[in-house]
Structure 1
Amino acid sequence: MSHAKKPAPPREPEEERGGYKLPALRVYSEIATSLSSDADLEQLLERFLQTMIRLAGATAGAVRVVSSDGQHMRLVGAIGLPQEVIDREYLVPIGCGVCGRAAQHFAIQRGEAAGNCHEVTLLDYFGEGCKNVIAVPLRHKGKTMGVYNLFMPCDRSIPEEVALLFLSISEHLGMALENARLTRENLRITLMDERQMLAAEIHDSLAQTLAYMKMRLAMLREAVREGDELSTERYLGEVDDALESAYSGLRELLTQFRQKMDPRGLLPALEDLMHNFCNRTGIKVDFINRAPDVNLTPDQEVQVFHIVQEALNNISKHSAAQHVSLTIEFIGDRYALTVTDDGIGLKTQGSNGPSMHLGMSIMKERAQRLGGEVIVESRPGQGTRVHLEFPAPRPRRVGAR
């Protein structure tokens, strides 16, 4: 059986070894650089644990963060501790001993090694090599995020300037922990929103087409029962068109979610959309932006993007156009987007089945979510104009409380 390696001989703080000099500026600079560049927050916490051990003259140290249940602290980094101790101390109650006092009062706490923890494994390991334990809390805006433990070889407090530096470090790292928590929370919200968006897309396209097919199948069944050959032939054609529309809609839906809207925002996304449309269809395109500032919420941007996308899909399938233009304007307190083409117009497109009418319905539903409306105008042989208008978000009052 392997035996744990005993800790190194006790060290004295740096000030006892020929003039303690606190490298505060260098540590602050390291904090700022690390918080802006480090992706692994737990590695960052362990790296600063090493700095704190060195400045305090500690024998060993550990850093813990509050667990997801809010009732425990989880060990995320340790220096100078054997693996068997780390395993036993991996999860401890949040109110345990000196760590609990530090977390509760947001102040550096110091206590004798004996009796500090709910386990005595650390005492078994250190023996006389640890005289007291120092706990440095990690908090942000009154919320406990974690704690640093420093195991001291001598029965004394750390210098005041070191304590101040430790509190400053803990504030910055506490903020980093809170930011990491918010990032995870936002990621979960984003994933939920994407799932809801996918469900809405399926409802708006595929589900409606399948509902249409179900109604036509009922009519087809009745026509077959009555021996009405003319109606049977017509309903068969409509079901066939609807099936093709459902299959096409599913492919488009998969394409939409594989090629998401440009994260830079609506304008770059629309530019890419028009460029890709031109490359795919060979139809000449113009993109005219007359709005000085397009300032929409992410959900509004998605709705506008998909309305324009649906309009372009209808053009590519049904219009036989040679030229398409997209214009964005800001009129009064409303945004206006207009997609025009020089194709054959709507009234000569009756043989195209339900797919185009379904697309129009989807655009109108999306416009309603924006609090606006879509108006479709067309004359045979003179192209089609799809005009979207919706109210601009109200600007936030500067200085409002």
Structure 2
Amino acid sequence: MTLDTLIPSRHKLSTKIVGALVGFLALALCAIGVTLYLSWQLEGSAAAINDTGSLRMSSYRLAILLSQTGEGDAANDAPRQASAGQQMAQIDATLAQLRLGDPQRPLFLPPTGAILGEFERINTDWQRELRPAARALAAGQGVGDGALQRYLARTDRFAGRVNALVQLIERDSETRTFWLRASQLALLALALVGTVSLIYLMFSLIIEPVTRLHEGLHRMKDKDFEVRLAVDSVDEFGQLAQGFNQMADRLQALYGNLADLVQTKTAALEHQNRELALLYDSAAFLQRPQPVEPLCQGFLQRISDYFHADGGSVRVLDTGRDNLHMVVHHGLSPRLVEREHCMKVGDCLCGEAVQKKVTVIHDLRKLDKGYELECHREGFATVSVFHIYAHQQHLGFFNLHFRSARVLDAREQGLLETLGQLLGTAIENLRLGAREREMAVSEERNLVAQGLHDSIAQGLNFLNLQVQMLEQSVGDGKLGDVEEIVPALRAGVQESYEDVRELLHNFRSRLVEGNLVGALETAVDKFRRQTGIAAELVADVDGAPFPREQQLQLLFIVQEALSNVRKHAGASRVLVRLEDKHDFLLSIEDNGVGFDPALVEGRGDSHVGIHIMRERAQRIEATLAVTSSPGAGSTIALTLPQERRRAA
């Protein structure tokens, strides 16, 4: 029988214990029931003795009342007759109650033949003899002819029978009292026997098996693996003893082979540590910023050293042309590299593996046409192909070449597939980095193009018109017009020069240690000195810091707004307000001539200044609002709510 064998219900320990307890409970309930029944009957017999005895007193009292009737005046006979009637009714009620019984009091006659027969005779005497005679005497009939003496004699006989019935009931009560005491003694004996039996049952079923198990565990603790427990039952303890014996057998076998097991586990642990070291070293190496060739070369060198490969290569897939380009190689001859530096998907064994996108380990000796392959001619016996993936995208594969036959188990294949994913992630990161740099260059060029905004273009257009007018005036010999045009040209050139200098200055602006308020103070102070316009910065900074790139965008927005004020507003006062709490608020207000925002919006990209500020605000996920009207100044407000703010 094994540990998982089901135990029959009749052999279960719970069944035995519950059965014994239920049996003893049934016996106890029977004994208690008998005791309660006998006590109840004794209480009923005692009440019957009292009521039966009252019949004697009632019969004698009735006789006395009947003997006094007719001896006095008629006025006193009426109450006596009424009392006699009450006594007769009481005797009738007592006999009826004895015959019917009353379980609630309790009251009833013992159900024996002698008692019931005697009661029927008493009831018959009363109904047929005493009661009619008493009624006649109470009515005053037959008093003078010896009826009273006959009634008194019958009353004596009636009382004698009642006394005999009382004695029968008393003897029956004595018998029942004996049985009551006997049942109580039996209940006491049952309690003693039950207690002893339960103690024996607990010892035999629970305590003794537990003691044997404890002794066995103590001996096993002392490295006595020869200990075995006797299986002498089929209950839970029997299964537990069998399980203990199986455990002892296992421990004895393990302890005997402990040295070999420790050596095996140690070797497995060392192998796992080497795998983890390779994964950690490869992951750390692939995270370094470096070109793709050194990246793949270092990766290939690490896995070749770990798996003791005689050669290997890393190839990248060109999905547009279905070409597999060899990036780096190791241990391959120049002839093999020259022939396979670029192969098509589906060519040779490696190309077929790429086409099917499955990991392949080729034993070239077992292939039908293995002798025709370049790898086999180079002396390699085993070639493995593992794919390079990044985000479910197939990027290429890498090879490991072995000159002797090599079998890679499932764990080694899983390790190489994981390394292929790490390499794929690193290559994809290089590609993403290159694309990000391209996007940064493109955005910077876009900023430069946007920086050449409308004022420079308009200035050059103005200069072009003035040059044409100058050329025409010189040709016509109008020196007066020339004298007017030359100062305008000089002023236009100077204004364009200042615009270009301001644009270059804005592109060269940098934050000192990410201090946005300090950079804004520098920009406002420079604006004040260069233009002579009263400019003020009010900053209330209590929020989380912004990333450096976002702070630069905010600085550029302020510089662009101040440049617009200088060139277009004609203002005498400028206020830059910064509220950095939960939400970020930045505003630039001036008291200049103002403008109509609807007209500016209708011009579209021709008014590049506001367009540039809007684009910069969108890059930091903020909103830019322009409020102005002719003659009432302008306000540019930038808002960044807390839920869209990104803390540094």
TM range (shorter): 0.5 to 0.7
| Contact 1:106 1:139 (C-alpha < 8 Å) held by counterparts | no
| Contact 1:364 1:374 (C-alpha < 8 Å) held by counterparts | no
Higher strand share: 1
1:237: how far off? 3.0
TM-score normalized by structure 2? Answer: 0.44
* 1:27 aligned partner: 278
1:330: how far off? 7.0
Q: 1:32 to 1:332 in 2, by over 3 A?
A: closer
Corresponding residue to 1:387 among 635, 638, 645: 635
What is the 5 A alignment of 1:171-250?
171-217=421-467, 234-250=484-500
* 1:137 aligned partner: 387
Q: 1:362 to 1:150 in 2, by over 3 A?
A: closer
Distance, in Å, in 1 between the alignment partners of 2:408 and 2:449 is 58
Q: 1:37 to 1:297 in 2, by over 3 A?
A: closer
* 2:313 aligned partner: 62
1:202: how far off? 1.9
Distance, in Å, in 2 between the alignment partners of 1:314 and 1:391 is 20
| Contact 2:456 2:499 (C-alpha < 8 Å) held by counterparts | yes
Distance, in Å, in 2 between the alignment partners of 1:28 and 1:328 is 50
TM-score normalized by structure 1? Answer: 0.67
Distance, in Å, in 1 between the alignment partners of 2:518 and 2:435 is 31
* 1:92 aligned partner: 343
Distance, in Å, in 1 between the alignment partners of 2:517 and 2:539 is 11
Distance, in Å, in 2 between the alignment partners of 1:203 and 1:222 is 29
| Contact 2:450 2:612 (C-alpha < 8 Å) held by counterparts | no
Distance, in Å, in 2 between the alignment partners of 1:116 and 1:389 is 76
1:145-167 per-position Cα deviation (integer Å, ceiling 9, x unaligned): 12111112234431221111101
Distance, in Å, in 1 between the alignment partners of 2:423 and 2:512 is 29
Amino acid at match of 1:43: P
Amino acid at match of 1:387: T
1:252-310 per-position Cα deviation (integer Å, ceiling 9, x unaligned): 333444x265599xx746643543775898799756154836879979964x5334224
Distance, in Å, in 1 between the alignment partners of 2:288 and 2:309 is 28
Higher helix share: 2
1:81 aligns to 2:332 (yes or no): yes
* 1:275 aligned partner: 522
| Contact 1:56 1:162 (C-alpha < 8 Å) held by counterparts | no
| Contact 1:65 1:147 (C-alpha < 8 Å) held by counterparts | yes
User: Matched residue of 1:213: which SS?
Assistant: helix
* 1:355 aligned partner: none
Distance, in Å, in 1 between the alignment partners of 2:526 and 2:462 is 33
Amino acid at match of 2:414: L
* 1:37 aligned partner: 288
Q: 1:314 to 1:186 in 2, by over 3 A?
A: closer
| Contact 2:286 2:426 (C-alpha < 8 Å) held by counterparts | yes
1:83-105 per-position Cα deviation (integer Å, ceiling 9, x unaligned): 44334432222433333344344
Structure of higher RCO (CA pairs closer than 8 Å, 6+ residues apart)? 1
1:191-229 per-position Cα deviation (integer Å, ceiling 9, x unaligned): 122222212222434222112323445566778899998
Distance, in Å, in 1 between the alignment partners of 2:338 and 2:520 is 54
Distance, in Å, in 1 between the alignment partners of 2:542 and 2:345 is 54
* 2:148 aligned partner: none
1:244: how far off? 0.9
Distance, in Å, in 1 between the alignment partners of 2:522 and 2:629 is 23
Segment drifting more, 387-396 vs 159-168: 387-396
Amino acid at match of 1:131: A
Unaligned runs of 5+ in 2: 1-263, 594-606, 618-623
| Contact 2:561 2:588 (C-alpha < 8 Å) held by counterparts | no
Distance, in Å, in 2 between the alignment partners of 1:143 and 1:200 is 37
| Contact 2:388 2:398 (C-alpha < 8 Å) held by counterparts | yes
* 2:62 aligned partner: none
Corresponding residue to 1:254 among 499, 504, 524: 504
* 1:358 aligned partner: none
Q: 1:273 to 1:299 in 2, by over 3 A?
A: closer
Q: 1:317 to 1:309 in 2, by over 3 A?
A: same
Q: CA RMSD in A?
A: 4.8
1:52 aligns to 2:303 (yes or no): yes
1:372: how far off? 2.7
Distance, in Å, in 2 between the alignment partners of 1:255 and 1:87 is 54
User: Matched residue of 2:301: which SS?
Assistant: helix
Segment drifting more, 56-65 vs 132-141: 56-65
User: Matched residue of 2:395: which SS?
Assistant: strand
User: Matched residue of 2:452: which SS?
Assistant: helix
Distance, in Å, in 1 between the alignment partners of 2:478 and 2:350 is 84
User: Matched residue of 1:61: which SS?
Assistant: strand
Q: 1:157 to 1:333 in 2, by over 3 A?
A: same
Amino acid at match of 2:626: E
| Contact 1:334 1:389 (C-alpha < 8 Å) held by counterparts | no
1:338 aligns to 2:595 (yes or no): no
1:77: how far off? 1.8
Q: 1:331 to 1:275 in 2, by over 3 A?
A: closer
Amino acid at match of 1:21: H
Corresponding residue to 1:373 among 603, 621, 626: 626
User: Matched residue of 1:81: which SS?
Assistant: coil
User: Matched residue of 1:37: which SS?
Assistant: coil
Distance, in Å, in 2 between the alignment partners of 1:339 and 1:184 is 41
Amino acid at match of 2:271: K
Q: Which has the larger radius of gyration?
A: 2
Amino acid at match of 1:272: A
Q: 1:102 to 1:201 in 2, by over 3 A?
A: same
1:161 aligns to 2:443 (yes or no): no
Q: 1:245 to 1:279 in 2, by over 3 A?
A: closer
Distance, in Å, in 1 between the alignment partners of 2:290 and 2:538 is 39
Q: Count matched residues.
A: 350
1:170: how far off? 0.9
Q: 1:299 to 1:365 in 2, by over 3 A?
A: farther
